Structure 1
Amino acid sequence: MSEEILVNVTPRETRVAVVESGMLQELHIERASRRGVVGNIYKGRVQRVMPGMQAAFVEIGLERAAFLHASDIHRLPAEPMAEGDVPAPTPPITSLVHEGQEIVVQVVKDPIGSKGARLTTQLSIPSRYLVFLPQSRVLGVSARIEDEAERARLKDIVAGLANGGGQGYIVRTNAEGQPAEAMAEDVAYLRRAWEVVRHAAERTPVGGRIYEDLPLPLRAVRDLMRKNVDKVRVDSREALERIRGFAQQFMPALADRIEHYAGERPIFDLYGVEDEIQRALQKEVPLKSGGYLVIDQTEAMTTIDVNTGSFLGQRNLEETVYRTNLEAAQAVARQLRLRNLGGIIIIDFIDMTDEEHKRQVLRMLEKGLSNDHARTSVHDFSPLGLVEMTRKRTTESLERQLCEPCHECGGRGSLKTPETLTYEIFREITRAVRQFEASQLLVIASPRVVGRITEEESASVAELEEFLGKSIRFQADEQYAQEQYDVVLL
């Protein structure tokens, strides 16, 4: 499967697209006004301790205080744990931190919606092939490396490089097949980086940033560039030089795949990425068979409904449903990645009676998710025929990065009808007349609402005027949203 990484750089925004076999799979966006903070290390101060939540709120210089759970606070074990030991239960938060305490923390989840950033004191620093855990003795290997011999080889290499230094490492997926020399370079880099962090932590004031993760173009190359990536195409010469310099230092074997895109057409237009982004903001996702998905993102979870649409199939209903669900499973995996949807996800596939068909649909979904960089967990069909899954979320979804709630409906996705607003206005007129003295009333509303009142409800207006003994005038204003109106006493 051919894969390309496209880097589009403008003065205030950088976008990175991952394209597989000509189709957009992932989109990452970083804006100068709102850079993500995941991976950054700060010196914070404990603002409030919440024993009932087993958590504390920590001030780290962001807009909102960040959240630190007791389970994310590093504790040195009394003695090293033996294999098979059960971890000790998390002690009360009040025994771990206190209000006013200075504390070094790392962001593991960006602020999302109304929630502040999620923190940990269990610090980690990533490199090309490893994640360094300075406060741990763990030596782990990514679960995505499935070959047992390769896992053992990598673990032996890292154990030798760690040399009993009392610090931990996790081997990343990118390390598969890499020689010991490449791993040694990463270990040396990480040790230097940790020394810088340690010294900075002593000098940095409360609320200050001790360590910042790489900017998006370099982070994308570090995390996304693998052997199956054919090219990295960059439309900025300045960014190209920075990326090439980084690649030559940390991944020289792949540096020659990074090239400048100098075409007249914008790089995202050339690959159809802009059109794909627009489609990724729609609720409906058409399937080639004629079926479609409906994706609804809410605060609590994301729901995905699968419909057959115009697909009638060639054989019988069960076969039609099975084929549609197979195609939908592939599409769902891609959409989750593309839209960066996380948290709890409920998929309502079309009902199937054949158990083997259900297994095949789940396999197809899991296969589609196998290339996803975010951690996912898929459960079997529930008694109601729903598939429940989770996908780790560290940043806002694509929609919430690019859009804001509708000013007309306040994010509800629907508006009160002109008929509903008509009767609401009539009630407001009655309420106003009973509370205040006035000889005449003026109602200002949107043209659509005023049009309905004056055309279809003229008899009702006449009855209301007679009942109240007041004259009522209506004025249409193009500046008023459909649900907006004012009743003015004259």
Structure 2
Amino acid sequence: MNKELIINATPQGVEIALLEDKKLVELHHEKADASFAVGDLYLGKVKKLIPGLNAAFVDVGFEKDAFLHYTDLSPYARSLLKFTQQAMNDTTPNGFDFGTFQVEPEIVKTGKINEVLNGKPHILVQILKEPIAAKGPRLSCEISLPGRFVVITPFNDIVAVSRKIHSSDERKRLQKIVEAIKPKNFGVIVRTAAEGKNTAELHEDLTELVATWQTIKHNLKGAVAPAKILSEQTKTTSMLRDLLNEDFNKIVINDRNIFNDTKSYIQRIAPDKIDIVSYYHNGSPIFDQFSVTKQVKAAFGKTVNLPSGAYLIIEHTEALHVIDVNSGYKSVSNNQEQNALETNLEAAEEIARQLRLRDLGGIIVVDFIDMKLPDNKRKLIEAMENFMRTDRAKHAVLPISKFGLMQITRQRMKPEVTINTQEVCPTCNGTGKISSALILEDEIEKNLSYLINHQHKDLILAVHPIMHAYLTKGGFMGIGSRQWNWRWKYKQKVRIRANTNYHLTEFHFFDNQEDEIKL
């Protein structure tokens, strides 16, 4: 499987598209002003204890207090409270030695929130879920610091190996290596990516994470709640950390700073992959060049069409998501049962993609086309589980019920991705009438004349593709076109570029450095 990461930097933030075999499977958007991200660590102040919910509301600086449930406290909550206070009040020049830290007894699973957080103390917390709608962030006290090959969890000495590493010999080998290099008071979870790695690679990853914990300890010194103690890596580098493997063959970025940061990161974690990173500066939008825009427009919306003619209807309610599978005009044989199976298998692959693409979470109910044979139902369940194997979110697929419905649960980590593919025309505001091409041409030429008279040279005019055709169409070599007439009239060449993101009457001028000229 070929994986490509296309990164589009805009003034509003960074858009990241993950393509698998040229097909869009994940779309992420990191806002430029985003203040909360999953994995960030904060020094929070407990504001209110709610015994009825067995939870607490914690001030971490968001307009709404964050939510911390007892089940997210971690068995080592008392050790975390003690560590937080000790680090805040530490007066030693280099900080206390965490290896000599005395771990407190674990809390009981069935305990009460007010028994642990009595007195409303300051506590180190990690963002478990970003703020969604009017809700504040969801918090956890089970602090974990992920690296490329291992994850460290302070206050315990447990070593665990990912269940996705199936070889028992490899699991034992990794367990022995980590137990030999692990510092005191740190638990280590070995990730799937560690399979086949040597001691030096694992030790380097572990050393970096321990250094990060030292940074947290240093940042807590003298901190006043609420305060951000440590930021998670950017969305780009965190995706590379979690996804980068031998299947990756291209990372394309249209921003010089992100390109340099990404290249430095790849150079550090996987020098052999440095050549897959490239800087894009070809003029046309990067998402258009790699067909991301086209796939977004086709994949989002209530109806999703499948290549065979079958289609999905995706509806959202407050409690769950409902997906209906319709056969359309597809017919692969005269056998109705076979037709239903083939359509359902095709739909299952697209549904697995849609769950990742839209980041749908909670309960998803799928109404597949009815099948009578138990073997076919089993094939569909196995296929669905196989298609969802690449999904990083925790999920479960339940057997088809007697009503023919499949239920899927999927972890939701951030707000669902929704892109409205239908909108009122921004030019005519729904009236169906716009200025004629002649009037628009006249407006463009007035601006062009003004810029040339003010000593602007090597101008680039970006317009909608239809307007591009109108301005450039002419005889041989474009002779007789509007563009050719302008060159003759103003003694200066004007390049005209089509941009599919513009509405019909939108146009912008750029200089030869690709900087927009504001009029």
How does the TM-score come out when normalised to structure 1?
A: 0.77
What secondary structure, in the 3-state scheme, does the structure 2 residue paired with 1:143 have? coil
Q: Is 1:179 the equivalent of 2:182?
A: no
| 1:447 corresponding residue in structure 2 | none
Amino acid corresponding to residue 58 of structure 1 in structure 2:
V
Q: In 1, are the aligned partners of 2:366 and 2:407 still within 8 Å (CA)?
A: yes
The range that moved more, 354-363 or 114-123, is 114-123
Contact in 2 for aligned 1:70/1:96 (Cα 8 Å):
no
Question: Closer, same or farther in 2 for the Cα pair 1:74/1:314, shift >3 Å?
Answer: closer
Tell whether 2:260 aligns with 1:260: no
Contact 2:71/2:109, CA 8 A, preserved across alignment: no
Q: CA deviation at 1:166?
A: 2.6
Letter in 2 for 1:108: L
Alignment partners' CA distance in 2, 1:136 and 1:347 = 42
Question: Superposition pairs for residues 399-478 of structure 1, below 5 Å?
Answer: 399=418
Separation in 1 of the partners of 2:195 and 2:256? 31
Q: Any idea what SS the aligned residue of 1:34 has? A: coil
Q: Which residue of 1 aligns with 2:433?
A: none
For the residue of structure 1 that corresponds to 2:341, the secondary structure is: helix
Code of the aligned partner of 1:64: K
Partner of 2:247: 228
Task: Report matched runs for 1:326-337 at 5 Å.
Answer: 326-337=345-356
Identity of aligned residues (%): 35
Matched, 1:209 2:228: yes
State the AA in 1 paired with 2:289. Answer: L
**Cα distance, 1:137–1:128 mapped onto 2, change above 3 Å:** same
Q: For residues 211-270 of structure 1, give each alpha carbon's deviation from its aligned partner in whole angstroms, at most 9, with x where no partner exists.
A: 100112222221221111012111222211111111222222322322222323222111
- Residue-by-residue CA offset, 1:115-152 (whole Å, 9 max, x unaligned): 22111111111112111111233322223333333222
Q: Secondary structure at the match of 2:143?
A: coil
Answering whether residue 176 of structure 2 is matched by residue 160 of structure 1, we say: no
Which residue is equivalent to 2:497?
Answer: none
> What is the CA–CA distance in structure 1 between the aligned matches of 2:207 and 2:200, rounded to whole Å?
11
Please name the residue that 1:312 is paired with: 331
2:152 aligned to which of 102, 117, 132: 132
CA distance in 2, matches of 1:149, 1:264: 52
What residue in structure 1 maps to residue 31 of structure 2? 31
**Deviation for aligned residue 1:72:** 1.2
Please state how far the C-alpha of 1:205 moved relative to its aligned partner: 1.1
Task: State the distance in 2 between where 1:22 and 1:15 align.
Answer: 17
Partner residue of 1:424? none
Decide which moves more: 45-54 or 259-268.
Answer: 259-268
Pairwise CA distance, 1:391: 1.1
Query: RMSD over aligned Cα, in angstroms?
Result: 2.4
1:289 to 1:404, Cα distance in 2 relative to 1, 3 A: closer
Q: Deviations over 1:49-98 (max 9, x none)?
A: 111111111111012111101111133499xxxxxxxx953201110113
SS in 1 for 2:52: helix
Flag the 1:348–1:136 CA change in 2: closer, same or farther, 3 A: farther
Q: What is the rounded CA distance, in whole Å, between the counterparts of 2:110 and 2:231 in structure 1?
A: 29
Give yes or no for contact 2:46–2:123 (8 Å, CA) kept in 1.
yes
Q: In structure 2, how many angstroms separate the alpha carbons of the residues matched to 1:196 and 1:216? A: 21
Contact 2:301/2:420, CA 8 A, preserved across alignment: no
Q: Distance in 2 between matches of 1:151 and 1:406?
A: 53
Deviations 1:424-443 (A, max 9, x none): xxxxxxxxxxxxxxxxxxxx
Q: Distance in 2 between matches of 1:236 and 1:279?
A: 26
**Gap change, CA 1:68 and 1:347, over 3 Å in 2:** same
Give structure 2 stretches of 5+ with no counterpart.
Answer: 79-106, 425-519
Does the 8 A contact of 2:75 with 2:108 survive in 1?
Answer: no
CA contact (8 A) 1:48 1:99 kept: no
Q: Which residue is equivalent to 1:350?
A: 369
Alignment deviations for residues 372-430 of structure 1 (CA, whole Å, 9 cap, x no partner): 1111111111222211111111111111xx569999xxxxxxxxxxxxxxxxxxxxxxx
Q: Which residue of 98, 109, 114 corresponds with 2:134?
A: 114
Corresponding residue number in structure 2 for 1:429:
none
Change (3 A) 1:99 1:383: farther
1:105 has 2:138 as partner? no
**Equivalent-residue separation in structure 2 for 1:51 and 1:77 (angstroms):** 17
Partner of 2:410: 391
Distance 1:333 1:54 in 2: 35
Q: C-alpha displacement at 1:101, in angstroms?
A: 2.0
C-alpha displacement of 1:36: 4.3
Q: 1:296 aligns with which of 297, 311, 315?
A: 315
Q: SS of the counterpart of 1:196?
A: helix
Deviates more, 1:146-155 or 1:286-295: 146-155
CA distance in 2, matches of 1:405, 1:35: 30
1:68 aligns with 2:68: yes
SS of 2:221's equivalent? Answer: helix
Query: Larger deviation: 371-380 or 3-12?
Result: 3-12
Where does structure 1 lack aligned partners over 5 or more consecutive residues?
A: 79-86, 408-490
1:99 to partner: Cα distance: 5.6
Contact map agreement 1:46 1:98 (CA 8 A) in 2: no
Cα separation, 2, equivalents of 1:405 and 1:392: 28
Q: Is the 8 A contact 1:16 1:220 kept in 2?
A: no
Please say if residues 77 and 141 of structure 2, whose CA atoms lie closer than 8 Å, have aligned partners that are also in contact.
no
Count of aligned positions: 398
Shift in Å, 1:42: 0.7
Instruction: Tell me how far apart the structure 2 counterparts of residues 99 and 345 of structure 1 sit (CA, whole Å).
Output: 41
Determine which of 341, 358, 383 is the counterpart of 2:360.
Answer: 341
Instruction: Please give the TM-score of this superposition, normalised by the length of structure 2.
Output: 0.73
